[in-house]
């Protein structure tokens, strides 16, 4: 059950005392921004007594449960379809990491052919002789991914030629690299506004977005594996940006920005990824996140003209009504727009063998205090850091776990057993509440309301206080954060103000 297979759970989680047993309960009606009302102590992904855990309702005086033993006559005999299942899993889900691993597979061959077609159609490079033997070049390689549908089925196999940008030198073959992306708070605000005004929400995707950017620098790249155009020893002189180049995101954004301005859109000063156009018919808003965009507004004719204008400059895929954006599930009803991450939670629990863990009703124990020295050292903290990173992204739709995630994220450099126990407590809470999310209602006012609070000297190690705040647009939760203060406060009044 415990995902660290190379060592027992006792290395991470101490035994739970008999008077601190967890018991699964019903899902709470509302999300809470901080843990409250749960006397259960937590520390484990499961409840096996061999790991020092006590199951719900267990008595310390009862005899240890005996392991169940199979009475099947076919015990230990694999299913007759075992080989088929194994072949299917290996054949369809293993992603190659090298070109030679993808060779011979018709699905990856087709994906690589499509990539070359797109590169040629975009005139991404010219094959030329190397100017001088000392001319610096960047390397290239293939990157393979399997793009999945929201329901877990395979959408398509994708292969991309990427430049090895880590070989580039500043002020030699690149200069500026910054490109803005939309904040999650901006995404939530846009959805809240669209819900309140009952606007439609369209989602578009740009095919091979980074190939559209124009380069200001002269860059030579080694030919990618499998590309046999030209003579041996020749190189590719890049005419357009390419995935992997340090300046590729900036080049793409500048190209898209120029296109939108040419269509009469203005760029938000505070949110550079938000483009707005107002006409006599109404308003159109476009929010860009790298190559994914959301379009909404009251001007349906303006939305149609925008899509047509984008098709002239780029290969646009119209994904229809917004339903899945950056791992966020979006559904609409008469009540409003509902935003959640059910699939993301299910995948996270599955990755760490937590689908069948004992659920709890709060993300952390009441009055939990953690310090840098809490518990014993963990041999490998890489999985701890990976889970915390996933939880940080999950906080985009779950403000109720923000404080708990903020707490466990303080110990990523040197996690200990007590920190691991608190981390897995959050996963157990998510199993109980995976259906929770954010509702942006169709009714309500358009006023902004902000709330904040702080503890006093809550950090055991530094005695610094932690501040939490949230912002509502009408009845919609659009922004929140929990953060440790930079300085030590001298009083609770100073901590709050």
What is the per-residue pLDDT across 236-271, written as a single tens digit (0 to 9) for each?
A: 999 999 999 999 999 999 999 999 999 999 999 999
* pLDDT (mean) for 101-126: 92
In this structure, are 322 and 460 located in the same domain? Answer: no
Task: Please state, in angstroms and rounded to a whole number, the distance separating the CA atoms of residues 224 and 125.
Answer: 12
Q: How confident is the model at residue 122 (pLDDT cuts 50, 70, 90)?
A: confident
Give residue-wise pLDDT tens across range 424-458.
999 999 999 999 999 999 988 889 999 999 999 98
Quote the pTM value: 0.76
How high is the pLDDT of residue 291? 92
Residue 74 domain-assigned? no
Residue 474 domain-assigned? yes
Residue 411: DSSP 8-state:
G
In contact, 203 and 321? CB cutoff 8 Å = yes
Phi, psi values for residue 84, rounded to 5°: -65, -45
Q: Please, which contacts does 165-174 make with residues 24 or more away whose CB atoms are closer than 8 Å?
A: 165/138, 165/244, 165/245, 165/246, 165/248, 167/138, 167/139, 168/138, 168/219, 168/245, 168/246, 169/136, 172/136, 173/136, 173/138, 173/217, 173/218, 173/219, 174/217, 174/245, 174/246, 174/247
Give residue-wise pLDDT tens across range 60-69.
344 444 444 4
Lowest mean per-residue pLDDT among 33-42, 392-401, 445-454: 33-42
Give residue-wise pLDDT tens across range 309-364.
999 999 999 999 999 999 899 999 999 999 999 999 999 999 999 999 999 999 99
Q: How confident is the model at residue 155 (pLDDT cuts 50, 70, 90)?
A: confident
How high is the pLDDT of residue 159? 94
Task: Please state, in angstroms and rounded to a whole number, the distance separating the CA atoms of residues 343 and 328.
Answer: 9
Number of domains in the chain: 2
Residue 413 domain-assigned? no
Domain closes at, from 326, 359, 384:
326
Residue 16 domain-assigned? no
> 469 lies in which domain range?
444-496
How high is the pLDDT of residue 455? 93
How high is the pLDDT of residue 149? 79
In this structure, are 321 and 454 located in the same domain? Answer: no
How high is the pLDDT of residue 267? 95
pLDDT above 70 covers a percentage of the chain that reads 81
How high is the pLDDT of residue 63? 47
Of 94 and 201, the structure prediction assigns the larger pLDDT to 201
Residue 193 domain-assigned? yes
In this structure, are 320 and 451 located in the same domain? Answer: no
- DSSP H or E run through 477: strand 476-484
Domain closes at, from 326, 341, 356:
326
- pLDDT reading at 48 higher than 90: no
Residue 351 domain-assigned? no
Q: How confident is the model at residue 296 (pLDDT cuts 50, 70, 90)?
A: very high
In this structure, are 313 and 459 located in the same domain? Answer: no
Find the DSSP H helices in 198-319: 248-262, 300-313
Residue 420 domain-assigned? no
In this structure, are 321 and 448 located in the same domain? Answer: no
- pLDDT reading at 78 higher than 70: no
Residue 295 domain-assigned? yes
Give residue-wise pLDDT tens across range 203-224.
999 988 999 999 999 999 999 9
Domain closes at, from 302, 326, 350:
326
Average pLDDT, the chain: 84
């Amino acid at each position: 059950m415990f995902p660290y297979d190379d060592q027992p759970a006792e290395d991470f989680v101490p035994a739970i005392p008999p008077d601190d047993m967890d018991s699964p309960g019903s899902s709470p009606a509302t999300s809470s921004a901080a843990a409250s009302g749960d006397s259960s102590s937590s520390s484990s992904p499961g409840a096996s007594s061999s790991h020092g855990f006590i199951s719900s309702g267990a008595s310390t005086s009862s005899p240890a449960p005996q392991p169940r033993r199979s009475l099947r006559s076919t015990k230990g005999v694999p299913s007759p379809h075992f080989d088929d299942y194994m072949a299917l899993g290996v054949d369809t889900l293993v992603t190659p990491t090298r070109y030679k691993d993808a060779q011979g597979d018709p699905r990856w061959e087709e994906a690589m052919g499509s990539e070359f077609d797109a590169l040629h159609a975009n005139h991404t490079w010219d094959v030329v002789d190397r100017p001088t033997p000392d001319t610096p070049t960047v390397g290239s390689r293939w990157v393979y991914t399997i793009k999945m549908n929201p329901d877990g089925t395979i959408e398509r196999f994708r292969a991309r030629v990427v430049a090895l940008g880590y070989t580039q030198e500043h002020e030699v073959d690149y200069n500026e690299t910054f490109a803005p992306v939309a904040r999650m708070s901006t995404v939530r605000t846009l959805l809240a506004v669209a819900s309140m005004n009952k606007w439609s929400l369209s989602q578009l995707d740009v095919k091979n977005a980074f190939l559209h950017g124009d380069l200001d620098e002269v860059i030579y790249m080694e030919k990618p594996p499998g590309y046999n155009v030209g003579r041996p020893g020749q190189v590719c002189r890049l005419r357009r940006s390419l995935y992997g180049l340090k300046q590729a995101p900036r080049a793409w954004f500048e190209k898209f920005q120029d296109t939108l301005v040419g269509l009469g859109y203005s760029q938000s000063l505070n949110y550079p990824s938000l483009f707005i156009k107002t006409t006599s018919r109404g308003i159109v808003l476009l929010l860009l996140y790298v190559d994914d965009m959301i379009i909404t507004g009251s001007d349906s004719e303006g939305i149609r003209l925008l899509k047509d204008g984008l098709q002239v400059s780029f290969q646009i895929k119209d994904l229809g009504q917004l339903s899945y954006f950056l791992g966020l599930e979006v559904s609409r009803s008469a009540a409003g727009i509902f935003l959640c991450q059910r699939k993301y939670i299910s995948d996270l629990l599955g990755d760490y063998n937590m689908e069948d863990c004992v659920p709890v009703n709060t993300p952390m124990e009441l009055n939990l205090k953690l310090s840098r020295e809490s518990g014993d050292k963990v041999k490998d903290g890489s999985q701890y850091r990976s889970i915390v990173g996933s939880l940080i992204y999950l906080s985009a739709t779950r403000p109720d776990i923000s404080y708990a995630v903020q707490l466990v994220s303080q110990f990523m450099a040197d996690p200990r057993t007590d920190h691991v126990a608190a981390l897995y407590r959050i996963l157990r809470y998510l199993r109980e509440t995976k259906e929770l999310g954010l509702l942006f209602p169709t009714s309500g006012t358009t006023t902004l309301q902000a709330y904040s609070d702080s503890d006093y000297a809550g950090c055991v190690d530094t005695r610094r206080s932690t501040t939490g705040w949230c912002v509502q647009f009408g009845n919609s939760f659009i922004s929140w954060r929990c953060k440790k203060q930079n300085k030590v406060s001298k009083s609770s009044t100073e901590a709050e103000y």
